[in-house]
Structure 1
């Protein structure tokens, strides 16, 4: 369980262009469907008086051919990368272009807190004071994050995991506080979104059916409304308060 997001739908608050995204390797999300077709042929009965076939071989030889199909499983996601530090620092990642989730914790930070990647997502965190939240990286097609820079006054912890560690929501509303990453497993076309906060509120998604990225909400302050947000999908929420997303 990326998402700089490409352009969203025409009815979204701001315009960007859609770009293909990388299919995330979520645990339990890969489904292989095999369809077998069997053709049966029944020879017609020869009519009386018809000539017999010329026998050219008394002992015909039959050769059986066996075809073996080998399915190569997808490679496992890279192991989690965990970094701890204090103050400004730059950490190097080994996951390359593999989509992932960045979790940053700085519960006692003071002053400006900035977390940036060198991938297409770029600015992940830009706040003041204590912070705890999650962000997607490498979900947009062509994005590859090799390092993340941290500017903070205080001790912090940064971890990068694969999408297999994503929170999966099914059969119920999703709710939380602050910046979060979730995956809706159900099928739907829209959702009612609520937010209680004073800062920017942004909801972006990756449609798992169309493999496209989209912008559902881009507002400032508290918000409530029903928007186009398809499922199943991977969703990034950026909020300074509490939020709820209910599939319709």
Structure 2
């Protein structure tokens, strides 16, 4: 199965390169922790504002459908969106990309969810679809995501994104498949890649909700919040 290993590895390498030689707030960079209040020097200058962008209000669902290869303009604004691509009768290579990233790269029937617009100043405007059967592509805000509730496992297969409420501090992940397993955690304006390996995976990932967790893989998975 052809997976998004290249996309996940490229994103990881981009993070390393940017953190070494680029100014802050570019790409998927983990912010530095602020100094404790007791150690800050008093100043007449107002304290800096939070770097976390407040979540915008509800955004109507956007849906496209087609058959075979296509170029699809989208109306989704400059905010994070969650794209579900479904091609139940596809065979051969299946791919979906924007100007900024490859979000689907698989073989055969496919249904999965990925996010877009997670990097500042990188708004997606067009989807390029490679498929040989009828498909649908749906974009939603976080209201369209499954929610990870503590102690309630969710199971499924292929790529998925979850909404994590503030009561959660970690998620346990178990995957079975032949390709790559990647787990992204997005909290505030930043995303991290704590898991990126070939083959099956079983482990726990710290997550401070509210956040989003993206699970990428070509097999089955079970995820449980705690």
Give CA-to-partner distance per residue, 1:6-63, whole Å, 9 cap, x none. Answer: 748xxxxxxx7437775444xxxxxxxxxxxxxxxxxxxxxxxxxxxxxxxxxxxxxx
1:180 aligns with 2:192: no
TM-score (norm 2): 0.73
Alignment gaps of 5+ in structure 2 = 1-7, 17-27, 32-50
Distance 2:102 2:145 in 1: 21
Q: What SS does structure 1 have at the residue aligned with 2:143?
A: helix
1:143 aligns with 2:122: yes
Q: Name the structure 1 match of 2:62.
A: 81
Distance 2:116 2:53 in 1: 11
RMSD: 2.5
Q: Is the 8 A contact 1:216 1:229 kept in 2?
A: no
Q: Is the 8 A contact 2:175 2:221 kept in 1?
A: yes
Alignment gaps of 5+ in structure 1 = 9-15, 26-73
Q: Name the structure 1 match of 2:4.
A: none
Normalized per residue, the structure richer in helix is 2
Q: Is the 8 A contact 2:158 2:216 kept in 1?
A: yes
Q: How many residues align?
A: 186
Q: Is the 8 A contact 2:29 2:190 kept in 1?
A: no
Q: What SS does structure 1 have at the residue aligned with 2:30?
A: coil
Q: What SS does structure 1 have at the residue aligned with 2:147?
A: strand
Tell which structure's C-alpha radius of gyration is larger. 1
Deviation (angstroms), 1:186 = 4.0
TM-score (norm 1): 0.67
Deviation (angstroms), 1:224 = 1.0
Query: More displaced, 162-171 or 133-142?
Result: 162-171
Distance 2:91 2:72 in 1: 21
Q: Is the 8 A contact 2:29 2:192 kept in 1?
A: no
